[in-house]
Amino acid sequence: MSQTQMIKRGELAIRSGCNLETIRYYENIGLLRPPERTDSGHRLYSKDDQARLGFILRGRELGFSIEELKSLLSLVDSHGYSCGEVFDLTRDHLTSIRQKIIDLKKLERTLADVSAQCEGGDVPECPIIDALYGHKVVVPIEVSRRQSP
């Protein structure tokens, strides 16, 4: 590809909305291929590089880990992948996301219970601090003693 059709890293960052350090990081870990360089050493990115970065960014937005993205890109780069292989990776990711949602709901309930046991004000003892230190066990309560504003 002609260098006139390629863009520098700063322009890639602007077009993609991805910061320079993240682009450099993706290069260092192998998600982005090493770019071509000008005679003066500036990195140049092709349309394929731009599309690959877009793939990575969308994958990150969907919560795919770096390792999961490496696996997906490896399938793409081999040109021999099947939709079933991609489906399996995506299904595994979805299972992981669903477990995280369950864990977050438990965390939400625990935090709600802890905060409901705190009456606020200027008292020197705080059940939230005690719970964080592990001095008191958080006991779920049915009705909050404190009304939300």
Please state, in angstroms and rounded to a whole number, the distance separating the CA atoms of residues 80 and 12: 29
For residue 118, tell me if it sits in a domain.
no
| Residue 116 pLDDT > 90 | no
| Residue 124 pLDDT > 80 | no
For residue 6, tell me if it sits in a domain.
yes
Please state, in angstroms and rounded to a whole number, the distance separating the CA atoms of residues 111 and 114: 5
For the chain, percent of residues with pLDDT exceeding 90: 66
Q: What are phi and psi of 99, to 5 degrees?
A: -65, -40
Please state, in angstroms and rounded to a whole number, the distance separating the CA atoms of residues 59 and 27: 16
For position 134, what pLDDT does the model report? Answer: 80
Please state, in angstroms and rounded to a whole number, the distance separating the CA atoms of residues 105 and 102: 5
Cα→Cα distances 126→50, 119, 129, 137, 141, Å: 52, 8, 5, 13, 17
Please state the rounded mean pLDDT for residues 26-55.
95
For position 3, what pLDDT does the model report? Answer: 61
For residue 58, tell me if it sits in a domain.
yes
Q: 143 falls in which pLDDT band (50, 70, 90)?
A: very low
Number of domains in the chain: 1
More confident of the two residues 134 and 59: 59
For position 127, what pLDDT does the model report? Answer: 80
| Residue 101 pLDDT > 80 | yes
Q: pTM score, two decimals?
A: 0.73
More confident of the two residues 37 and 1: 37
For residue 55, tell me if it sits in a domain.
yes
For residue 15, tell me if it sits in a domain.
yes
For residue 24, tell me if it sits in a domain.
yes
| Residue 148 pLDDT > 80 | no
For residue 135, tell me if it sits in a domain.
no
- Residue-averaged pLDDT of the chain: 87
Cα→Cα distances 36→43, 49, 65, 114, Å: 6, 10, 27, 55
For residue 81, tell me if it sits in a domain.
no
| Residue 87 pLDDT > 90 | yes
Domain, as residue range, for 12: 1-64
| Residue 28 pLDDT > 50 | yes
Question: The domain that contains 33 carries what CATH number?
Answer: 1.10.1660.10
